[in-house]
Chains A and B, each alone.
Chain A
Amino acid sequence: MLYINCPHCGLRSQNEFAYGGDATVKRPELNKEISDQEWDNFVYLRKSPRGKHLELWHHISGCRQWIKVERDTSTHEIFKTYKANEAIE
Chain B
Amino acid sequence: MSQDFRLDNVGMVNREKKISFKFNGKKYFGFEGDTIASALIANGVHLVGRSFKYHRPRGFFGVGVDEPYAILQLDRNNERDPNIRATEQEIFEGLEVKSVNCWPSVNFDIGAINNFLKMFFPAGFYYKTFMWPPSFWYKIYEPFIRMAAGFGEASIKHDKERYEHKYEYCDLLITGSGPSGLASAYAAAKNGARVILAEDKPRFGGSLLTSDVNIGNQTGVEWTEKIIAELKSMPNVTVKNRSQVFGYYDHNMLVMSERISDHLPKTQKYLPKQRLWYIRANEVLISSGSIERPLVFGNNDTPGVMLSSAAKEYMKVYGVLVGKKPLIFTNNDSGYETAIEFKKNGVNPIILDTRSNPSSDIITEAKNLNIEIRFSYVVVAAKGYKKVKSADIAKISDDKKELFNIENIECDCICVSGFWTPSIHLASQSGNKSKFNEKIDAFVPDKSKQKENTIGSANGIFTLEETIKDAFDKGFDVSNKITEKNNKVSVPTVVEKKSTDHDKFWCVPLPKGKSYKRFLDFQNDVAVSDIELALREGFRSIEHVKRYTTLGMATDQGKTSNLNGLQLVSDIENKVVPQVGHTTFRPPYTPVSIGAIVGREVGKHSKPTRKSPMHSWHEKNNAVFVDAGVWLRPRYYKQGNEGLFEASKREAKNVRQNVGVCDVTTLGKIDVKGPDAAEFLNRVYTNAWLKLPVGKARYGVMLREDGIVMDDGTTTRISENHYHMTTTTAQAANVLSHLEYYLQLVWPELNVNVVSTTEQWAGAAIAGPNSRKLLMKLFPNLDVSNEGLPFMGYKEADLFGVPTKIYRISFSGELAYEINVESDNGYFMWKKIMEVGQEFQIQPYGTEALSTLRIEMGHVAGSELDGRTIPYDASLEGLVSKKKDFIGKRSLNRSAFTSTDREKLVGVVPIDKTTSIPEGSYIVKDPKAKLPNPKLGHVSASCWSVEYDNPFSLAIIKDGKNMIGQKLFAMSPLKNKIIPVEIVSSHYVDPEGKRVRS
Contact = CB atoms under 8 A, between A and B. Distances in A.
Interface string B723-763: 00000000001000100110011101000000000000000
Nearest to A1: B253
Contacts of A39: 890-891
A50 interface: no
Nearest 5 A-B pairs (CB), nearest first? A3-B251, A30-B885, A84-B744, A31-B885, A66-B744
A27 B251 contact: no
B631 interface: no
Interface string B425-446: 0000001000000000000000
A46 interface: no
A85 B747 CA distance: 10
A66 B251 contact: no
Which applies to chain A's interface (DSSP): helix, strand, loop or mixed?
loop
B252 interface: yes
Interface string A1-42: 111000000000100001010000001101100101001001
A75 interface: yes
A34 B741 contact: no
A45 interface: no
B498 interface: no
B466 interface: no
A85 B748 contact: yes
B537 interface: no
A43 B741 contact: no
Interface in B841-898: 884-885, 890-891, 893-894
A39 B249 CA distance: 39
A13 to B, nearest CB: 7
A56 to B, nearest CB: 7
A66 B705 contact: no
Interface string A55-89: 01010100011100000000110100000110000
A66 B890 contact: no
A61 to B, nearest CB: 11
B249 A84 contact: no
- A18, A34, A42, A84, most chain B CB atoms within 10 A: A84
Interface residues of B, number: 27
A84 B705 contact: no
Contact of A28 (B253, B744, B890): B890
Contacts of A43: 705-706, 891
A58 B746 contact: no
A1 B891 contact: no
Given A2-B251, A39-B891, A43-B706, A58 B280 contact: no
24 contacts: A1-B250, A3-B251, A3-B252, A3-B253, A20-B741, A27-B705, A27-B746, A30-B885, A31-B884, A39-B891, A42-B705, A43-B706, A44-B706, A58-B741, A60-B737, A65-B740, A66-B741, A66-B744, A66-B745, A75-B431, A76-B251, A78-B251, A84-B745, A85-B744
A31 B746 CA distance: 14
A71 to B, nearest CB: 10
A60 to B, nearest CB: 7
B249 A18 contact: no
Contacts of A36: 893-894
Given A58-B740, A85-B748, A34 B890 contact: yes
Nearest to B733: A60
A42 B885 CA distance: 16
A18 B737 contact: yes
A58 B737 contact: yes
B251 A1 contact: yes
Nearest to B736: A64
Contacts of B884: 31
Nearest to B756: A64
B683 interface: yes
Nearest to B251: A3
Given A42-B705, A58-B740, A58-B741, A30 B683 contact: yes
A56 B745 contact: yes
Contacts of B890: 28, 34, 39
Contacts of A28: 890
Contacts, number: 57
Contacts of A2: 250-251
Nearest to A65: B744
Contacts of B891: 39, 43
A84 B744 CA distance: 6
Given A1-B278, A27-B705, A30-B885, 19 more contacts: A3-B250, A3-B251, A27-B746, A30-B683, A31-B884, A31-B885, A39-B890, A42-B705, A43-B705, A44-B706, A56-B745, A64-B740, A66-B740, A66-B744, A66-B745, A75-B431, A76-B250, A84-B748, A85-B744
A30 B888 CA distance: 10
Nearest to A4: B251
B523 to A, nearest CB: 31
Contacts of B894: 36
B205 to A, nearest CB: 32
A13 B449 CA distance: 20
A9 B830 CA distance: 41
Contacts of A18: 737
Nearest to A78: B251
- B251, B737, B740, most chain A CB atoms within 10 A: B251
A17 to B, nearest CB: 11
A39 B892 CA distance: 11
A31 B884 CA distance: 7
A70 B449 CA distance: 19
Contacts of A56: 745
A1 B740 CA distance: 25
B674 to A, nearest CB: 16
Nearest to B250: A76
A78 B885 CA distance: 37
Nearest to A40: B894
A19 to B, nearest CB: 11
A66 B831 CA distance: 42
Nearest to A58: B737
A28 to B, nearest CB: 7
A35 B733 CA distance: 33
Nearest to A18: B737
Contacts of A13: 167, 253, 280
A40 to B, nearest CB: 8
B409 to A, nearest CB: 56
B705 A3 contact: no
A28 B280 CA distance: 41
Interface in B228-260: 249-253
Contacts of B733: 60
B889 to A, nearest CB: 9
B706 to A, nearest CB: 5
B862 to A, nearest CB: 21
Nearest to B707: A43
A13 B167 CA distance: 10
Contacts of B737: 18, 58, 60
Contacts of B705: 27, 42-43
Interface string B270-281: 000000001010
Contacts of A66: 740-741, 744-745
Contacts of B252: 3
Contacts of B885: 30-31
A15 to B, nearest CB: 10
B218 to A, nearest CB: 40
B353 to A, nearest CB: 46
B627 to A, nearest CB: 22
B678 to A, nearest CB: 15
A56 B748 CA distance: 15
Nearest to A67: B744
A49 B740 CA distance: 26
Contacts of A64: 740
Interface string B670-709: 0000000000000100000000000000000000011000
A10 B888 CA distance: 34
B251 to A, nearest CB: 4
A6 to B, nearest CB: 13
Nearest to B884: A31
